[in-house]
């Protein structure tokens, strides 16, 4: 035995260690690979020995070789051996090697579970630490599941060193094993307040990382983070928190308002640039989330822009870079504030640092206006010429195109100039973006009809000089522009001056060296040109010779293409060749053929919006997944083929320039490809369709007489040697503007003389509107299918691992969740009420205070409706504990029956947020919160959630006091569980999913209120979720006339039951001022709050809107009467309900029934349900085939349950509610809804 040890250590002395290996490699520079392969052989020998020291030395060397790019996965088992050594030295080497080369598909990983578990519980903290570090790099779903509990225990380890590592690694565990998130989260939250700053920082790190992906689940932590932000001094933690707030504010505008002040303070006080920068960034995010243009925020914007300017002017390039980066974020919402720093940004374009130039380029995008576009692009073109390195030049090129084409060519006043710019860009050598230039050329030529003649002339020149483009660089992408040039010349050949010459240019033998897809376009368009030539010639019958020569030219030149190895080219060429041969025969018989040939290419091609095909709704009754013919069994390849085809028709991205591949393919595949191609051609706006009827339709639809005819100013020669053409345009444009300006001045002077007095400031710099386009252009908009679906589905990556972590963390833990579930026991699909969870939680959260028996007693007392105060509070506690709103446990039922003021309906978060200064005027508040006009249930519920802010202050303060007391009490109890029912959001998710699955006809909540020739009012009425006596009326005012509408006043005659809430001090008949003016064509939304007493009956209120219509020379006072209709539906609030709670509710027998039959309903059942959900604020509890149960709750807590059944066009609704009057009216309203559609 002793001998063996001695022998081992002697062996070791002769082994190479890591240093020897490195030295050896350095000494074998010439034959490194050979040397390393001998080393690897040695290592293999060493690994075979029993001595762990030798093994670990070998593994250590392997780790080094792995860094050099050698695959060492063959030694995985040896690595595991070294990991399991009892000595720390070797263990560390093993874990390091594992962390460098293990990954999910390393099979020996499953052998490590027990070893890692042993190390995690080792008495030596460094064993544990090393295991955690290693595990963080190679954790797999299996390891995460098996070790989650062990790691969770370590989160409460006595040593902070272990705690922080355990906290950090939990993030990896969550990613691999999402089921662990909910059980582990309470502990994670505790760690935010760990005494050790390192642990705290780790917890902040993890939660920020989680929240960044699914921010809405972490909104309820905002108060805690806010506290940390104001107390922490660790800049790392502060930066993370501030970044997190940046992600949260878009979800909760009130949070933003609360943040502005402390952030501004930090900006002023901190000396750390990193912190300052993140503060500025988050302030920007806040400002973006708040409504723009609020006067009190302009100071914050100014502060940000000012600080950023300082950063940009700094000599430190890093600060400069970041300053520009943040500036581009402001640009999106507050372009004006950035535009004033144009000088600075243009200066950055000349910076020697490419990163900075790129950022400055990003900013330029938002800085252009009609006035300065040409100037800026000219500057960029200079940079293009100077630029070294193709990447930066390509970037410049795309930016120029982006800038010019943005918002539908908004800033281009002269398209001739733009075409010249594009043509100039084609002279760039070696750019990758030929296709981009090409698509711009096509787009402009197709959509700007007025420019076609000019574009065609330019393209003809391009074609003529094609050899310059293709030159020696065959593979450069620039030849793509020839694709566009050929197509434009062919399609709009009527504008060509000399079609014959262009035709000749297109049939040069050199064309055959172009890529196949371009040749195909050449061939096709040569045919179009041919038809034009024929047309031109036969008009003058004297000279039929030219026409015949043209035919001969085609017959001579086309055979080259017929022999092309590209199928597309070959097919088209042989078709056309035969056609021309036939025509030639006719020509020789002196038959007039021009008209018929032209008919081949008649009709106009309209631009189609890029997503148009995607938006074509799937016709009803068409099931894309159903087989047309049952497949012969076991033919999987066909299955795939069919799928692709289906995709191509209904969801495929348009690909205009598909490059055919030259791989060998079997016949089946060829057939499949042909199918795909056909579908693609049907898709391709530039492909001439076979069916003549559709072309006719186009012709009629467009109407030739609408094409504006433009006189091209021929003072510009088409080619100017020596000077780029675009410069000429710049010059001309300047002259033109000067002239316009002079003209205008003259006119002004005349006017001034006539009128006597004039406003001052006219002689200042010309404003945007003053710049008239050089010629009127008609930019054709892109076509969309008639009944395109409005929804723009987001293109989120379905494989994002963070999707699985979108888990509601506010829901209390169920008993079963206390321990981490084993993978096989995935949570049930069926929604279960968290009622048991609530009880379970209570047992654990207050076990020392009360015994189970006592608690039972209390619950019984609760049942008996005890009125003693502290008991009531107990009830409230319970309610809070199980606070997911829809819980219908008996206890909560009782509480809900109490006057609404005492129920803690508003969540802690709302409470915390509402501490922010509340504007006293309800309208102002409404304007501040400014949600977009709600047209979906989602947005509508958003409004409901936001409105509590605008409660009058008096009712609020008393409520707050109560809550504060309670909160303090909660704190004393160390009651850490924050339950923020996010009812509104959750409900929208539910309804949202219903809608996502099955496309619905568009619905709007907004009903017409009143309308006259000046103004239109539509309104939406919603109950206030947080106050049983409030109804919020959102009114959209739309200015229909072309005058300015101002001083709008809104007034309603109050009834005994319903009253408009007016600001303090206003009389009961005073009207409310609408807080905005309406320029012509603009619509805007204001919100009014009404208090109601009884909600059993519908109400109608008469009201009047008075306003002043201001035209240029006069203003008139106008008024519009309206009737506000508070339906019973508007008192209902969409509230989700779990099926078991629902069943209990029905069993309780407190509800009275009523029923309704609707006949002749022939819409799909899911549409019917969606309508009820949408118009009447119900949510679906359960749906089985043609039967569904639905639930809703009134603002005063009445439960309304529906059972909807359908059988051949008859819908029967059985309903139950604890208030029969309300129910009757709601049913009547449902009936009305369906009689209307």
**Number of amino acids touching another protein (CB under 8 A):** 64
Name the helix (H) or strand (E) containing 1212. Answer: strand 1210-1217
| Residue 886: CB minimum distance to another protein, A | 35
Query: Residue 180 forms beta bridges with which residues?
Result: none
Taking a C-beta distance cutoff of 8 angstroms, is the pair 510, 467 a contact? yes
Task: Choose, by CB under 8 A, the member of 243, 379, 647, 1110 that binds another protein.
Answer: 243
Tokens of 791: 């929804």
Is 365 an interacting residue with respect to another protein (CB under 8 A)? no
Shorter beta-carbon distance to another protein: residue 66 or 372: 66
| 60 lies in the site for another protein, by CB under 8 A | yes
Are 964 and 1037 contacting, i.e. CB atoms less than 8 angstroms apart? no
Among 1, 2, 13, 71, binds another protein (CB under 8 A): 71
**Nearest-angstrom CA–CA distance, 14 and 1197:** 85
Output the six-digit token pair for 438: 């090409």
698 binds another protein per the rule CB under 8 A? no
User: What separation, in Å, do the N-terminal and C-terminal C-alpha atoms of the chain show?
Assistant: 94
Looking at 91-99, 334-342, 461-469, 1054-1062, which segment touches another protein (CB under 8 A)? Answer: 91-99
Of residues 1075 through 1114, those in contact with another protein by CB under 8 A are none
CB 429 → another protein: shortest distance, Å?
A: 20
Binding residue for another protein, selected from 29, 352, 753, 760, defined by CB under 8 A: 352
Alpha helices, DSSP H only, in 177-272?
181-191, 197-213, 222-231, 235-248, 253-269
Residues 6 or more apart whose CB falls under 8 angstroms from that of 142 comprise 109, 110, 113
Helices then strands, counting H and E runs in the chain, come out as 51, 15
Stretch that binds another protein, among 195-203, 525-533, 684-692, 1118-1126 (CB under 8 A): 195-203
Candidate segments 3-11, 271-279, 784-792, 1097-1105, binder of another protein by CB under 8 A: 271-279
- Taking a C-beta distance cutoff of 8 angstroms, is the pair 97, 65 a contact? no
Residue 782 touching another protein (CB under 8 A): no
Which of these segments, 270-278, 363-371, 897-905, 1165-1173, binds another protein (CB under 8 A)? 270-278
The residue behind tokens 């293709």 is 470
Q: Among the candidate windows 272-280, 838-846, 992-1000, 1010-1018, which touches another protein by CB under 8 A? A: 272-280
Q: Give the whole-angstrom CA distance, residue 489 versus residue 506.
A: 10
1086: phi then psi, degrees, rounded to nearest 5: -130, 155
Q: Kindly state whether residue 390 participates in binding another protein, applying the rule CB under 8 A.
A: no
Q: Using the minimum distance from each CB to another protein, give the nearer residue, 431 or 524.
A: 431
Q: Pick one of 82, 143, 169, 224: the residue that binds another protein (CB under 8 A).
A: 169
Q: Assess 342 for contact with another protein (CB under 8 A).
A: no
In the bound state with another protein, the residue whose beta carbon lies nearer, of 198 and 1075, is 198
Distance CA(1108)–CA(107), nearest Å, equals 78
φ, ψ for residue 1200 (rounded to 5)?
A: -125, 120
Signed CA dihedral, 427, 430, 432, 434: sign only: positive
| Closer Cβ to another protein, 70 or 1044, answer by number | 70
546 in contact with another protein (CB under 8 A): no
Of residues 105 through 124, those in contact with another protein by CB under 8 A are: 124
Q: Specify the stretch interacting with another protein by CB under 8 A; choose among 93-101, 859-867, 884-892, 899-907.
A: 93-101
- Binding flag, residue 1233, another protein (CB under 8 A): no
- In a 13 Å sphere around the CA of 863, the CA atoms on its Cβ side amount to 8
Q: Do the Cβ atoms of 441 and 461 come closer than 8 Å? A: no
Measured in whole angstroms, the distance separating CA 82 from the mean position of its chain's CA atoms is: 48
Is the Cβ of residue 251 or residue 616 nearer to another protein in the bound state?
251
SS (H, E, C) 934-987: CCCHHHHHHHHHHHHHHCCHHHHHHHHHHHHHHHHHHHHCCCCCCCCCCHHHHH
Chain position carrying tokens 């698509």: 439
The contact mask relative to another protein for 274-313 (x = CB under 8 A, - = no) is x--xx-----------------------------------
Task: Among 11, 142, 150, 354, indicate the residue that binds another protein (CB under 8 A).
Answer: 354
| Contact between residue 58 and residue 89 where contact means Cβ atoms under 8 Å apart | no
Would you give the DSSP letter of residue 1163?
S
Going by C-alpha positions, the residue among 157, 147, 208 that lies closest to residue 180 is 147
According to CB under 8 A, which one of 356, 396, 533, 679 is a site residue for another protein? 356
In the complex with another protein, which residue's Cβ is closer, 126 or 582?
Answer: 126
When asked if residue 803 is in the footprint of another protein (CB under 8 A), the reply is: no
- Residues near 575 by beta carbon (within 8 Å), at least 6 away in sequence: none
- Which region among 59-67, 258-266, 502-510, 1086-1094 touches another protein (by CB under 8 A)? 59-67
SS3 content of the chain, % helix, strand, coil (to 5): 60, 10, 30
Q: Applying CB under 8 A, which of residues 163, 165, 182, 959 lies at the interface with another protein?
A: 165
Shorter beta-carbon distance to another protein: residue 278 or 995? 278
Closest separation in Å from C-beta 220 to another protein: 20
Of residues 679 and 805, the one with the C-beta less far from another protein: 805
Identify which range of 89-97, 896-904, 1060-1068, 1189-1197 contacts another protein by CB under 8 A: 89-97
Q: How far is the CB of 45 from another protein (least distance, A)?
A: 21
**Minimum Å distance from CB 136 to another protein?**
3
Residues 6 or more apart from 244 whose CB is under 8 A from it? 204, 207, 208, 211, 212, 218, 225
Which of 80, 208, 229, 896 is in the footprint of another protein by CB under 8 A? 208
Nearest CB to another protein, comparing residues 128 and 888: 128
Question: In this complex, which beta carbon is closest to another protein, that of residue 202 or of residue 1215?
Answer: 202
By beta-carbon proximity to another protein, the closer residue of 326 and 913 is 326
3-class SS of residue 1125: strand
Residue 433 in the binding site for another protein (CB under 8 A): no
710: tokens are: 């433009």
Residues near 228 by beta carbon (within 8 Å), at least 6 away in sequence: 192, 200, 204, 237, 241
Which of 22, 697, 822, 1066: binder of another protein (CB under 8 A)?
Answer: 22
Q: Are 1032 and 1024 in contact (CB under 8 A)?
A: yes
Can you tell me which residue has the tokens 């010779």? 545
CA distances from 1136 to 668, 820, 939 (A): 52, 27, 17
Q: Between 168 and 441, name the residue whose CB sits nearer to another protein.
A: 168
3-state secondary structure 568-624: HHHHHHHHHHHHHHHHHHHHHCCCCCHHHHHHHCCCCCCCECCCHHHHCCCCCCCCC
Classify 535 as helix, strand or coil.
Answer: helix
93 is a site residue for another protein (CB under 8 A): yes
Eight-state DSSP code of residue 514: S
Token representation of residue 435: 């296709």
Contact 222, 255 (CB under 8 A): yes
Residue 80, interface with another protein (CB under 8 A)?
A: no
Q: If binding is defined by CB under 8 A, does position 691 make contact with another protein? A: no
Q: Which stretch binds another protein (CB under 8 A): 127-135, 485-493, 610-618, 1227-1235?
A: 127-135
Q: Looking at 163, 164, 855, 979, which residue binds another protein (CB under 8 A)?
A: 164
Contact with another protein (CB under 8 A) among 10, 68, 709, 1184: 68
Q: Which one of 147, 162, 202, 423 is in contact with another protein (CB under 8 A)?
A: 202
Residues that bind another protein (CB under 8 A): 18-19, 22-23, 26, 60, 63-64, 66-71, 87-89, 92-93, 96, 100, 103-104, 124, 126, 129-130, 132-133, 136-137, 161, 164-165, 168-169, 171-172, 198, 201-202, 205-206, 208-209, 212, 235-236, 239, 243, 273-274, 277-278, 317-318, 320-322, 352-356
């Amino acid at each position: 035995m002793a001998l063996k040890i001695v022998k081992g250590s002697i062996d070791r002395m002769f082994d190479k260690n890591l240093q020897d290996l490195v030295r050896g490699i350095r000494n074998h520079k010439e034959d490194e690979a050979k040397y390393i392969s001998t080393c690897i052989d040695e290592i293999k020998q060493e690994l075979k020995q029993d001595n762990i020291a030798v093994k670990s030395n070998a593994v250590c060397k392997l780790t080094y070789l792995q860094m050099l790019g050698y695959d060492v996965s063959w030694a995985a088992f040896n690595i595991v051996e070294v990991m399991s050594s009892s000595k720390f030295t070797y263990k560390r080497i093993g874990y390091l090697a594992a962390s460098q080369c293990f990954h999910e598909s390393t099979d020996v990983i499953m052998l490590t579970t027990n070893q890692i578990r042993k190390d995690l519980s080792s008495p030596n903290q460094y064993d544990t630490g090393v295991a955690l570090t290693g595990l963080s790099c190679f954790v797999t779903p299996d390891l995460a599941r098996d070790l989650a509990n062990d790691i969770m225990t370590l989160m409460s380890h006595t040593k902070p060193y272990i705690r922080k590592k355990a906290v950090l690694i939990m993030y990896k565990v969550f990613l691999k094993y999402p089921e662990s998130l909910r059980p582990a989260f309470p502990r994670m939250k505790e760690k935010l307040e760990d005494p050790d700053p390192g642990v705290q920082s780790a917890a902040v790190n993890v939660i920020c990382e989680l929240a960044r992906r699914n921010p809405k689940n972490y909104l309820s932590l905002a108060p805690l983070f806010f506290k940390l932000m104001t107390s922490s001094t660790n800049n790392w933690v502060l930066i993370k928190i501030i970044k997190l707030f940046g992600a949260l504010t878009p979800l909760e505008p009130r949070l933003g308002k609360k943040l502005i002040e402390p952030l501004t303070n930090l900006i002023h006080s901190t000396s750390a640039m990193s912190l300052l920068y993140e503060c500025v960034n988050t302030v920007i995010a806040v400002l973006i989330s708040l409504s723009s243009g609020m006067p009190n925020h302009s100071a914050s914007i100014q502060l940000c822009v000012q600080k950023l300017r300082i950063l940009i002017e700094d000599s430190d390039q890093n600060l400069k870079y970041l300053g520009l980066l943040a500036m581009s974020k402001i640009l999106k919402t507050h372009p004006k504030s950035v535009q004033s720093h144009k000088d600075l940004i243009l200066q950055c374009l000349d910076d020697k640092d490419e990163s900075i130039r790129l950022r400055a380029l990003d900013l330029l995008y938002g800085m252009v206006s009609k006035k300065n576009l040409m100037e800026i692009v000219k500057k960029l073109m200079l940079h293009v010429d100077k630029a070294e390195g193709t990447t930066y030049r390509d970037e410049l090129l795309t930016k120029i195109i982006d800038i010019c084409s943005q918002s539908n060519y908004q800033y281009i006043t002269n398209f001739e100039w733009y075409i010249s710019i594009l043509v100039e860009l084609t002279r760039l050598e070696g750019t990758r973006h030929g296709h981009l230039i090409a698509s711009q050329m096509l787009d402009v030529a197709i959509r700007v009809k007025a420019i076609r003649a000019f574009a065609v002339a330019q393209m003809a020149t391009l074609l003529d000089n094609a050899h310059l483009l293709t030159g020696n660089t065959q593979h450069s992408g620039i030849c793509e522009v020839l694709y566009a040039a050929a197509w434009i010349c062919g399609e709009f050949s009527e504008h060509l001056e000399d079609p014959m010459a262009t035709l000749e240019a297109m049939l040069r033998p050199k064309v055959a060296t172009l890529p196949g897809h371009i040749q195909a376009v050449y061939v096709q368009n040569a045919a179009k040109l041919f038809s034009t030539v024929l047309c031109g010639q036969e008009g003058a019958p004297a000279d039929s010779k030219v026409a015949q020569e043209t035919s001969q030219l085609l017959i001579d030149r086309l055979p080259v293409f017929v022999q092309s190895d590209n199928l597309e080219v070959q097919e088209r060429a042989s078709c056309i060749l035969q056609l021309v041969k036939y025509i030639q025969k006719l020509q020789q018989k002196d038959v007039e053929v021009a008209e018929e040939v032209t008919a081949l290419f008649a009709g106009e091609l309209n631009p189609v919006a890029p997503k148009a095909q995607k938006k074509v709704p799937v016709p009803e009754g068409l099931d894309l997944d159903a087989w047309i013919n049952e497949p012969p069994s076991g033919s999987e390849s066909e299955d795939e083929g069919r799928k692709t085809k289906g995709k191509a028709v209904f969801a495929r991205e348009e690909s205009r320039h598909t490059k055919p591949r030259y791989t060998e393919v079997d016949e089946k595949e060829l057939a499949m490809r042909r199918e795909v191609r056909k579908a693609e051609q049907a898709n391709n706006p530039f492909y001439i369709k076979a069916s003549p009827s559709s072309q006719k339709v186009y012709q009629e639809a467009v109407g030739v007489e609408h094409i504006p005819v433009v006189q091209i100013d021929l003072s510009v020669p088409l080619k100017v040697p020596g000077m780029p053409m675009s410069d000429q345009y710049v010059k001309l444009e300047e002259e033109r503007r000067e002239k316009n300006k002079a003209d205008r001045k003259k006119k002004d002077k005349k006017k001034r003389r006539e009128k006597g007095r004039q406003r001052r400031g006219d002689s200042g710099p010309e404003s945007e509107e003053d710049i008239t386009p050089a010629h009127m252009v008609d930019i054709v908009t892109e076509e969309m299918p008639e009944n395109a679906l409005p929804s723009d589905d987001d293109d989120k990556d379905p494989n994002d691992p963070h999707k699985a972590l979108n888990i509601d963390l506010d829901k209390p833990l169920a008993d079963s969740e206390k321990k981490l579930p084993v993978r096989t026991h995935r949570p049930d699909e069926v929604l279960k009420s968290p009622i048991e969870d609530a009880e379970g939680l209570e047992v654990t959260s207050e076990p020392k205070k009360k015994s189970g028996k006592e608690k039972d007693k209390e619950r019984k007392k609760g049942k008996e409706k005890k009125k003693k105060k502290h008991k009531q509070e107990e009830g409230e506690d319970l309610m809070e504990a199980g606070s997911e709103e829809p819980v219908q446990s008996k206890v909560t039922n009782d509480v809900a029956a109490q006057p609404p003021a005492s129920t803690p309906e508003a969540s802690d978060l709302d409470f915390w947020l509402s501490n922010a200064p509340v504007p006293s005027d309800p309208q102002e508040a409404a304007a501040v919160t400014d949600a977009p006009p709600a047209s979906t249930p989602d947005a509508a519920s958003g409004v409901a959630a936001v409105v509590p802010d605008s409660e009058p202050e008096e009712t609020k303060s008393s409520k707050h006091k109560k809550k504060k007391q309670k909160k303090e009490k909660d704190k004393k109890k160390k009651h850490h569980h924050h339950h923020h029912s996010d009812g509104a959001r959750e409900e929208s998710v539910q309804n949202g999913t219903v809608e996502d699955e099955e496309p619905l006809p568009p619905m709007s909540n907004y009903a017409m209120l009143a309308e006259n020739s000046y103004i239109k009012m539509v309104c939406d009425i919603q109950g206030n979720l947080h106050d049983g006596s409030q109804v919020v009326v959102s009114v959209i005012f739309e200015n229909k006339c072309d005058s300015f509408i101002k001083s709008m006043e809104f007034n309603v005659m109050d009834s005994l039951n319903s009253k408009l809430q007016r600001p303090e001090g206003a009389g009961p008949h005073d009207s409310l001022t609408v807080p905005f003016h309406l320029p012509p064509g603009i619509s805007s939304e204001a919100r009014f709050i009404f208090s109601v007493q009884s909600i059993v009956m519908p109400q109608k209120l008469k009201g009047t809107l008075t306003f002043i219509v201001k035209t240029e020379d006069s203003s008139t006072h106008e008024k519009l009467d309206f009737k506000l209709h508070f339906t019973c539906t508007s008192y209902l609030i969409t509230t989700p309900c779990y099926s078991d709670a629902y069943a209990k509710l029905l069993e309780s027998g407190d509800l009275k029934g009523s029923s309704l039959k609707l006949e002749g309903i022939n819409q799909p059942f899911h549409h019917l349900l969606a309508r009820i959900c949408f118009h009447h604020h119900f949510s679906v509890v359960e749906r089985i085939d043609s039967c569904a149960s639905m639930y809703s709750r009134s603002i005063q807590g009445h439960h309304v349950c529906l059972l909807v059944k359908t059988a051949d066009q008859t819908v029967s609704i059985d309903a139950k509610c604890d208030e029969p009057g309300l129910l009757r009216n709601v049913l009547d309203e449902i009936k009305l809804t369906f009689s209307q559609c």
